[in-house]
Amino acid sequence: MTDLWQLTFAQIGRSNGGGISPWMWLIPVVIVVLIILVKALRVLKEYERGVVLRLGRFHMTKGPGLRLIIPWIDKMTKMPVRIVTMDVPSQEVITKDNVSVKVNAVVYFKVVDPERAFLEVEEYLQATQQIAQTTLRSILGQAELDELLSNRDELNMELQTVVDKLTDPWGIKVTTVEVKDVELTEELKRAMAKQAEAERERRAKVIHAEGEFEASKKLSEAAGVMSTEPMALQLRYLQTLTEISVEKNSTIIFPLPMDIVKPLLGLLEKQTEDN
C-alpha cells in the first residue's frame, strides 16, 4: 500500500512539474478514515441483537439500528431473536409396551437472552436440536403406543416443559414442541387393523344382543297387556291380516283366535261323550 501511494504521488508530482500540492496529503488520511468508519459502523435489523466483546471480554448487547464499535478492539456478533422453527430428525423409539416406532417432531424456540446464548453454549442451534432429540426418545419411551397415538397433546406439553427447562440456562425459550408423525412398521399396521376389525365385530355383537334384550322386554310387556285386554289381541290379529294382504302370495293361512276355536272344541268334546 505504501509503494502504491509513493508511485501515485510521484506521478502527481511529475504532472505538476515536480511539486506536490499540500491538499494531496489529505488523500491517505481520508482513506484511513473511511476504512475506520467501515470497520466501526454496524447496522442491526429489528430482529437482531449485537453481542459486543471488547478485548475478549463481554462489553454490552446492542439493539437494532446503526451502531458504532471500536475497530480492532470490539468484536460484535449478531444474534437473531426471532422464533426459530427446527425439525427434529426421525428417531427410533421403543415404547413402554416394547413397540418400535419412528417419530419425528418440530421445535419452536427463540433467543430471549443473546448474551447467554452467545457465551454459555458454542452452537445454540445444534445444542437445542440435540437436546430435543434425546428428550424425544426419553419421554416417548415412557409412554405406550396407544398413548402415543391418542394423547399427543399431553406428550407435547411434557416435551415442551422438559426441553425448555434444559435450554433455559442458555437464554433460549422453547415455546412449542409438536410430534409430527409416528411411523409404524407394516407388521404392526396389519396387527392393528386386525385388532380394530375384531373390536368392531365385538361392538356389533354387543349392540345386537342389547337390541334383542330390549326387544324381549318390550314383547314381554306387550304379552302382559294382551293377557289382560282380550280386545288388544283381536286388534293385533286384524293388523296382522292387513299386513299379510299387502303381500302378493298365492296361499294365505289365517290364524284363528282361541276365543273362536274353544266353543267348537267344546261341541266336539260333548258329541264324543254322548256317543
- The residues, any chain, with a CB within 8 Å of residue 77's CB and separated by 6 or more, are 50, 51, 53, 118
For helices 124-140 and 152-167, what crossing angle results, to 10°?
A: 140
So where are the chain's domains? 2-78, 84-184
Whether 91 and 148 have beta carbons less than 8 Å apart is answered as no
CA distance linking residue 162 with residue 139, whole number of Å: 9
Task: Look at residue 159 in the predicted model and tell me its pLDDT.
Answer: 92
DSSP 27-49: HHHHHHHHHHHHHHEEEE-TTEE
Answering whether pTM is above 0.85, one says: no
Q: Which of 173, 161, 163 is nearest to 81 (CA)?
A: 173
Q: Which of 59, 45, 161, 147 is nearest to 103 (CA)?
A: 147
Residue 69 pairs in a beta bridge with none
CATH code linked to domain 84-184: 3.30.479.30
Residue 48 Cα to chain centre, angstroms: 29
CB 93 within 8 A of CB 134: no
DSSP 3-state percent helix, strand, coil across the chain (nearest 5): 55, 25, 20
Indicate the SS3 state at residue 143: coil
Q: What is the pLDDT along the chain (275 residues), one digit of tens a residue?
A: 445 445 444 554 554 444 555 667 777 777 877 887 788 888 899 999 999 999 989 999 998 988 888 888 889 999 999 999 999 888 888 888 888 888 999 999 999 999 999 999 989 999 999 999 999 988 988 888 888 888 888 999 999 999 999 999 999 999 999 998 888 777 766 766 677 777 778 888 888 888 888 877 777 777 676 667 666 666 666 666 666 666 665 565 656 656 666 666 667 677 776 66
The predicted pLDDT at position 1 comes to 45
